[in-house]
Amino acid sequence: MRVMAQIAMVMNLDKCIGCHTCSVTCKQAWTNRQGTEYVWFNNVETLPGQGYPRRWEDQEKWRGGWERTRSGTLRLRAGSRLKRLGNIFANPELPGIDDYYQPWTYEYKNLIDAPAGDDLPVARPVSSLTGEPLDTIEWGPNWDDNLGGAPRNAPRDPIVEKIRDEVGERIRFEFEQSFMFYLPRVCEHCLNPACVSSCPSGAMYKREEDGIVLVDQDDCRGWRMCVTGCPYKKVYFNHSTGKAEKCTFCFPRIEVGLPTVCSETCVGRMRYLGVMLYDADKVTEAASVEDEHDLYPSQLGCFLDPHDPAVVAAAKASGITHEWIEAARRSPVYDLIATYQVALPLHPEYRTMPMVWYVPPLSPVVEAVAASGHDGEDAGNLFGAIDALRIPVEYLAELLTAGDTVPVEAVLHRMAAMRAYMRRVNLGEERDESIAAAVGLTGPELEDLFRLLAIAKYEDRYVVPSAARADADALAEAHPLDDACPVGEAAPGRVLLNLSPTRRSA
């Protein structure tokens, strides 16, 4: 057993209101430079929809992630090393700027400086890349926002195309019969990252101490193989610097015990950060299972119980500090993923072992039951309504469990049981332990799950070990501020994304 630690994130889709605050604050912090006009390390998509970049889930086209060979080993979907070497100067499997969007601004000066006259001045859209006027604006990162793209764009959602024959009339895009929910997305910081394996220059690496995947800007040669290799299309090419860039999981904040910017500013308080301990020796085997439906449980099997004395001893032997082990024990992410098993991975069939997980949305069930005139919090009503969920369970399964509906239904039943059980508690009624038993939990466990999902405080949602703070203080003492780079200024030949103390994992 080779124990390693990973900073992971869970997002509760039941609480996302689609305000895009996380996207805006991330962009202001990390992608407000020349060459990143079209880049959104964090974006919020309305599903069903084509997403950003457009149809990023279509791996038949983009060839991202891993595939299992007949011999049971994994290889990149982009092809063999020889094939990728042959395309190194002209990689055809990349989203174009039209798949992302042509970033634009407006000729505001024309409004301000226009002389008085009978005609009303206008501000034409202008490309932020070329400076040339745009005749029409045809696509953007939030083109599907709030059903804005339905019924024109939503039917082209790759998941909808895949399951439409199976669910038939349950997916309809007339406005009054359509369904939607929000999906915030960041880099998955995978345990088995295809982007790292795709990089010919070795510039992409996964940090040993916290699992965060970064790009060394000095080593990057702009081959863009990592863009193809990432099935989530969360690696971007900076056309100004000629380098690849991606979400850094705000590692300068993580290193001093602070949550990511997107988590800190989340209005819905639906993000959770914590430490997961896992057995690195099991990762390849878990990602190589034959049946895609087994990928979710096989990844669960890689995670280690931080309360197990044998795991703690092995973690200490691997060099994991006491602070990180304690953070893993208090991790809300571990509770949601492993203890209560209400969080699921995004597209496990890509075999990258993602580490940003999601609690699927239940709210439409409650609303639908209440709208029919029945008690929307009654356990019996909720359990029965899940099968008729306006968001088809098959859609959620294709998104989160490689098409296996059983884990999704289990999560939705647990969420429904929590609501029904806690309604009785909050009304002062007698606790009904049969509700908890029906989903394999106890009453106190449902109360703890409710505390975590509904009323958890800041320090309960973000459990990030602050052991690195002592290292940062020591570094500051060793290198006085006079000799350091000013805030916001990079050292010559470096980009501020290159702050990681560990170059690459062992």
Give the pair of three-digit tokens for residue 257: 């015990």
| pLDDT score at 166 | 75
The answer to whether the 17-101+140-254 and 289-461 domains have the same CATH topology is yes
Give the pair of three-digit tokens for residue 43: 């974006």
Q: Is 163 or 272 the better-scoring residue by pLDDT? A: 272
130-168 pLDDT per residue, tens? 999 998 898 998 888 988 777 888 889 999 899 887 776
β-pairing, 213-215 with 204-206?
Answer: antiparallel
CA dihedral 87, 91, 92, 95 (to 10 degrees): 160
Given a cut of 60, whether residue 289 has pLDDT beyond it is yes
Quote the percentage of the chain above a pLDDT of 70: 85
Give the pair of three-digit tokens for residue 320: 């994991």
Q: Is 299 or 384 the better-scoring residue by pLDDT? A: 299
Q: Is 367 or 407 the better-scoring residue by pLDDT? A: 407
Instruction: Give the Å distances, CA to CA, from 149 to 51, 139, 201, 433.
Output: 10, 10, 39, 44
The overall average pLDDT reported for the chain is: 87
| pLDDT score at 372 | 65
Q: Cβ contacts of residue 102 below 8 Å, gap of 6+?
A: 38, 127, 129, 134, 137, 138, 139
In order, the DSSP letters of 376-431 are: TT-HHHHHHHHTT-SS-HHHHHHHHSTT-HHHHHHHHHHHHHHHHHHHHHHTTPPP
The band of 111, judged by pLDDT with boundaries at 50, 70 and 90, is confident
Helix (H, G, I), strand (E, B) or coil at 214: strand
Assigned CATH topology for domain 289-461: Alpha-Beta Plaits (3.30.70)
Q: Is the pTM of this model over 0.85?
A: yes
d(CA 315, CA 43): 35
The band of 364, judged by pLDDT with boundaries at 50, 70 and 90, is low
Given a cut of 60, whether residue 497 has pLDDT beyond it is no
Query: For the stretch 13-30, what's the b/e string if a residue is b when 16 or more beta carbons lie within 10 angstroms of its beta carbon?
Result: bbbbebebbbbebbbebb
CA-wise closest residue to 396 among 344, 337, 342, 453: 344
- What are the structural domain ranges in the chain? 17-101+140-254, 289-461
181-206 pLDDT per residue, tens? 999 999 999 999 999 999 999 999 99
Given a cut of 50, whether residue 499 has pLDDT beyond it is no
Helix (H, G, I), strand (E, B) or coil at 332: helix
In order, the DSSP letters of 53-72 are: TTTTT-HHHH--SEEE-TTS
According to CATH, what is the number of the domain 17-101+140-254?
A: 3.30.70.20
| pLDDT score at 176 | 55
| pLDDT score at 481 | 43
Give the pair of three-digit tokens for residue 140: 């953007």
β-pairing, 3-12 with 356-359?
Answer: parallel
d(CA 227, CA 205): 14
Helix (H, G, I), strand (E, B) or coil at 183: strand
478 φ, ψ to 5°?
-75, -30
The answer to which of 22-31, 121-130, 445-454 has the lowest mean pLDDT is: 121-130
Runs of H (alpha helix) within 200-355: 225-229, 251-254, 261-264, 283-287, 295-300, 309-317, 322-329, 332-334
Could you say which DSSP state residue 337 is in? I
| pLDDT score at 491 | 34
Within a 10 A sphere around the Cβ of 459, how many other Cβ atoms? 8
Given a cut of 70, whether residue 387 has pLDDT beyond it is no
d(CA 220, CA 235): 13
Could you say which DSSP state residue 225 is in? H
CA-wise closest residue to 204 among 403, 498, 436, 407: 498
304-320 pLDDT per residue, tens? 999 999 999 999 999 99
Residues 2, 320 contacting (CB under 8 angstroms)? no
